[in-house]
Chain A
Amino acid sequence: MDFIFKGMAQGLIWALLALGVYLSYRILDFADLSCEGSITLGASMASMLLTKNVSPIIAVLMAFLVGCVAGAITGLLHTKLKIPPILSGILTMTALFSINLHIMGSANIQLNSVPTLYTQLSGMLHLSKTYLSLILGTVVCLAVMAMLYWFFGTELGASIRATGINENMCRAQGIDTDLTKIIGLAISNGLIALSGAFICQYQGYSNINLGVGAIVIGLASIIIGEAIFSKVKNFFFTLGGIVIGAVIYRIVVAVVLYFNMPTEDVKIMTAFVVIAALFVSKYANKIGKKHPAAKHDKKEEPSIPEEKEVKDNA
């Protein structure tokens, strides 16, 4: 069972990535592919600072900041140069590859000989690494969720959410949608870089290929989270669902790798998990009348449920 806890601990760190992807993909409705670059950016920045004996907390915060800058650049490319979302994300990701190499100075940095957040805290709290990372991951995720919950309740946060729902309407209301998009993407990529900063400290090294598959992990976590917690209306618990989705995804991978499944089939198994989650959410939509996801449809197409009611009355 120990390996399940370890999978959970790892999942909680990757949950930050999932939250970041959720902000761009769901809230802003912006398919941002720069995440594979910004997760490595966070890891490179944090590990480079750690090897320079900077305090781990400052390293983590700096990683968040450079991630924000990367996200803002994607936003600027899209809003000012009118580059389509996917392409501007890809451009940032491509450029980040070189930037990450420059930051690290090589393709791989080891952190086993420098103090990291985990070694420092386990020295202070006398906890095993597994429990420490479980507690730390939970605390960080809850803190990030609370901050996002607060932020998206403010006027700026609400206008970012509105931009994702109906951009034209927002502009009609006098909201600067360029600005809201840039800020939204900056926060999203900041969180993704934050995830990278924790990942490199957890695994004890940072690598230029750290971001490989990150977008799939992020999207899969969102879809699993939404499928399981589809009845939740509260924004805070929706965010919680994403975190739990990321943890479930990591546990599934850990189980697939733990039991003697052919190594070639790991990727297809993860694809099946996502397909299953999508199927479950689709199926749940069909049977649950009071389903919040159905309610979401209602917002966009109010005519359909109304017709039903008319028929029922007749």
Chain B
Amino acid sequence: MKKIVSLILTVTLFLGAALALTACDSGSYKIPVVCGESGMNALCGIATYGVDYYSLGVKAGDMTADILLNGSDPAAMKVATDPNPALSVNPDIAEDIGFTIPESVSSRATGAQTQKVDRVSSAVVSSGADYTVGIIQLVQHVALDKANEGFQDQLSVRMNAAGKKVEILDRNANGEEANNVTIAENFVSQEVDLIYTIATSSSQAAATATQGTDIPVVFNAVTDPVDAGLVASLDAPGKNVTGVSDMNPVEKQIDLIVELLGKDDVKIGFLYTSAETNSVMQVSLAKAHCSKNNYSYVEKGIVDMNDIESAMAALAKEKVDAIYIPTDNVLANASALVHSINIGE
């Protein structure tokens, strides 16, 4: 009797598992996706106005050179943003999901080619430098690495033009908050001439560690520097801290979705990581813009990569016309996964 019961149980279990697998497999949503950043657009989006982290890094390099070489005061230097985000389209992804990008959009696209700066290696030395610059990067990450590279390239060019040498101390906190603090305090002990920080919490650690000193801090990849307590206002930072905000043009991107779909009564799904301040803030901007223009929207916050599948399914069930993903660290790393779920692979 026991044997029969266990046999029946096993068979049911197998059937259930098989059923679950086929149910999972059937999902192919083919919803147009618009991302907040061109790197993500390359992997899962159809078109976007993108902020390029390399250019942001170049901008931060310029600000640093102005502070070091020309004696500019960081307290009075405006927080910079990407003034002319480039429109890029991704015909391959559009083809995968069977979406035709309107001619009006694709003709305006300038592409996401980065204007690379040629690094002058001779201006970066490891000893006997005129200036020492410390870099704190929160974690290894495609966009943040670009922000670092662009900064170093541009700084070397500016230093070379001025006939000066710079020593760059490039440190990475490996994602641990305590290391941010240790690195920042080390830089203060070493009396570096300037600290360049990439990502919000690294910037906050440097801002705290440099309190009571006059070491300037130039930040990058911070979406809302005012909320993060780094600057008093975007126009007048007020202290030793200034930098570059990676705020993407959310409103422009929402308008782009409407333009792509070619209709006004759109329903947009927001997919983002609820634990990321930057993403929450971008989504709230997007929601405000939608309400203003009477676009309807659904939001799905995820906790980690494992939730993407079910979040996409939920958005498909809500019959959204398009999905908007802000610049979000978790989803940036999972861009390829988003696309493969979208086309049901």
State the A residues within 8 Å of B (CB). Answer: 2-3, 6-7, 10, 14, 97, 101, 106-108, 110-113, 128-129, 199, 202-205, 207-210, 212-213, 217, 250, 253-254, 257-258, 260, 263-264, 266-267
Indicate if the CB atoms of B204 and A254 lie closer than 8 Å: no
| A217 and B276 contact, CB distance less than 8 A | no
Q: At the interface, is chain A mostly helix, strand, loop or mixed?
A: helix
Most buried by B among A108, A113, A260: A108
**What residue in chain B is nearest A262 (Cβ atoms)?**
B172
Q: How far is the CB of B27 from chain A (nearest CB, A)?
A: 26
**Cross-chain contact B181 with A203 (CB below 8 angstroms):** yes
Q: Name the contact of A203 in the complex, choosing from B137, B208, B227 (C-beta under 8 A).
A: B208
CB<8 Å pairs between A and B, sample of 27: A3-B189, A3-B190, A6-B182, A7-B185, A10-B182, A10-B185, A14-B178, A97-B275, A97-B303, A108-B201, A110-B230, A112-B229, A203-B180, A203-B208, A205-B204, A210-B177, A212-B175, A212-B176, A212-B177, A213-B176, A217-B178, A257-B186, A258-B186, A258-B190, A263-B174, A266-B174, A267-B174
Contact check, A110 vs B204: say whether CB atoms are below 8 A apart. yes
Residue B170, interface by CB 8 Å? yes
Cβ distance A121 to chain B, nearest Cβ, rounded Å: 14
- A7 to B188 CA separation, bound complex (whole angstroms): 12
A59 to chain B, nearest CB (A): 17
Interchain CA distance A3-B182 in the complex, whole Å: 8
**Which residues in A have their C-beta under 8 angstroms from that of B174?**
263, 266-267
Q: Which residue of A has the minimal Cβ distance to B140?
A: A264
- The CA of A203 and the CA of B185, in the complex, are separated in Å by 10
- Interface 1/0s, chain B 216-232, versus A by CB < 8 A? 00000000000111100
Q: Let me know if B276 and A257 touch, CB within 8 A.
A: no
Q: Which residues of A contact B188 (CB under 8 A)?
A: 6
CB atoms of B177 and A108 under 8 A apart: no
Task: Please give me the residue from chain A that is nearest to B273 by CB atom.
Answer: A107
B205 at the interface (CB under 8 A from A): yes
Please give 19 more A-B residue pairs, beta carbons under 8 A apart, in addition to A97-B303, A108-B277, A203-B204: A10-B178, A107-B280, A110-B204, A112-B229, A199-B177, A202-B181, A203-B180, A203-B208, A207-B201, A209-B201, A213-B178, A253-B179, A254-B186, A257-B179, A258-B186, A263-B174, A264-B140, A266-B172, A266-B179
Q: Are the CB atoms of B207 and A112 closer together than 8 Å?
A: yes
A112 to B200, CA, bound (A): 14
The distance in angstroms between the C-alpha atoms of A217 and B182, with both chains bound, is 14
Asked if B163 is at the interface (CB within 8 A of a chain A CB), the reply is: no
Tell me the smallest distance from the CB of A99 to a CB of chain B, in Å: 12
With contact pairs A10-B182, A107-B277, A263-B171 given, residues A204 and B208 touching in the complex (Cβ less than 8 Å): yes
- From B137, B171, B177, A257 is in contact (CB under 8 Å) with B171
Contact A107 B176 (CB under 8 A): no
Chain B contact patch, size range? 35 or more
CB proximity of B341 to chain A, nearest CB, Å: 23
CB contact between A106 and one of B172, B190, B280 (< 8 Å): that residue: B280
Closest-CB distance, B268 to chain A (whole angstroms): 23
Chain A nearest CB from B131 CB (Å) reads 17
Q: Is B310 an interface residue (CB 8 A)?
A: no
B175 and A254 within 8 A (CB): no
Query: How many inter-chain residue pairs (CB < 8 Å) link A and B?
Result: 110
B274 touches A263 (CB 8 A): no
**B183 and A257: CB pair below 8 A?**
yes
Residue in B171, B176, B211, B277 whose Cβ sees the most chain A Cβ within 10 Å: B176
> Does B15 lie at the interface of the complex (its beta carbon under 8 Å from any beta carbon of A)?
no
Interface residues of B in 56-79 (CB under 8 A from A): none
**Chain A residues, Cβ within 8 Å of B230:** 110
Least CB distance, B149 to chain A, in whole angstroms: 14
B157 vs chain A, min Cβ distance (A) = 23
A-side contacts of B277, CB under 8 Å: 106-108
Q: What residues of A have a CB within 8 angstroms of the CB of B211 in the complex?
A: 112, 129, 204
Q: Which of B239-297 contact A (CB under 8 A)?
A: 274-277, 280
B177:A3 contact, CB within 8 angstroms = no
CB neighbours (8 Å) of A250 from chain B are 178, 182
CA distance A81 to B170 in the complex (A): 49
B169 is an interface residue with CB less than 8 A from chain A: yes
- Chain B hits for A14, CB < 8 A: 178
Q: How far is the CB of B204 from chain A (nearest CB, A)?
A: 4
Verify A101–B185 contact, CB threshold 8 A: no
A207–B205 Cα distance when bound, in Å, is 11
User: Contact between B178 and A110 (Cβ–Cβ < 8 Å)?
Assistant: no
- Chain B residues with CB below 8 A from A106, complex form: 277, 280
Instruction: Determine whether B83 belongs to the interface, using a CB cutoff of 8 Å to chain A.
Output: no
A199 → chain B, closest Cβ, in Å? 7
What is the chain B residue whose CB lies nearest that of A265? B174
Query: Counting CB contacts under 8 A, is B128 at the interface?
Result: no
Q: Are B175 and A209 in contact (CB under 8 A)?
A: yes
Closest approach, in angstroms, between the C-beta of A193 and any C-beta of chain B?
Answer: 16
Question: Closest 7 interchain pairs by CB?
Answer: A110-B229, A204-B208, A263-B172, A3-B189, A2-B189, A205-B204, A6-B185
**Set of chain B residues within 8 Å of A113, measured between Cβ atoms:** 229
CB distance from B177 to the nearest CB of A (A): 5
Q: Which residues of A contact B205 (CB under 8 A)?
A: 203-205
B178 CB to nearest A CB, Å: 7
Asked if A129 and B212 make an inter-chain contact with CB atoms under 8 angstroms apart, the answer reads yes
Complex alpha-carbon distance, A267 and B174, angstroms: 8
Does the CB pair B275–A101 fall under 8 Å? yes
Chain B residues near A217: list those with CB within 8 A. 178
Inter-subunit contact B182/A253 (CB<8 Å): yes
A43's nearest neighbour on chain B, judged by CB, is B177
With beta carbons under 8 angstroms apart, the residue of A2, A199, A208 that contacts B275 is A208
A208 partner residues in chain B, CB cutoff 8 A: 275
With a cutoff of 8 Å between Cβ atoms, the chain B residues found around residue A264 in the complex are 140, 172
CA distance A108 to B273 in the complex (A): 14
Complex: A182 Cα to B178 Cα, angstroms: 29
